[in-house]
Amino acid sequence: MSGISKPFYVGNFRHALDAKNRLTIPAKWRFAGDENEVYLALPNASGYVMVLPPAEVEKLYQKISAMPYSDAEAQELQHKLFGLAHQFGCDKQGRINIPEILLRHAGITKEAVLVGTMNKFGLWSPERWASMDPVANGDNFGDLMKRFGI
């Protein structure tokens, strides 16, 4: 067996934004052809930017496509969420460009913490991530594992 064939995102990494608001994606999260793939960045209600890789973008696309045009509530939600979303690919150096509106939403100014959640990743301000960091907060990893059924 050759291992896992799907990209997955684990760990956390702290990176500085450059003068053009570009952020480098960790090398272990980059894949051949990323510059041609579509990623999607969305504001998350918890105060960070959620980044969906191509496989998750496709799943979301299918869900959104199934919503009827006559469903006014669904259409309103789509406008609100996707009006703030940003699609991108990685450049040859593995950088992504994050729009100012998403950086403000997440409170990101000079640095960001990239946090993997297996099938996607989040962009957090260092201050907001510090309040969530399971190590810094002394979370019980046994309880966390039980919640996942591990």
pLDDT at 79: 94
The full set of domain ranges for the chain reads: 12-147
Identify the pLDDT of residue 145.
75
- Quick one: CATH architecture of 12-147? 3-Layer(aba) Sandwich (3.40)
| pLDDT of amino acid 1 | 41
Provide the residue-wise pLDDT of the chain in tens; the chain has 150 residues.
445 567 789 999 999 999 999 999 998 888 766 667 888 999 999 999 999 988 899 999 999 999 999 999 999 999 998 999 999 888 888 899 999 999 999 999 999 999 999 999 999 999 999 988 777 777 777 777 777 777
Q: Output the CA torsion 126→147→53→17 (10° steps).
A: 0
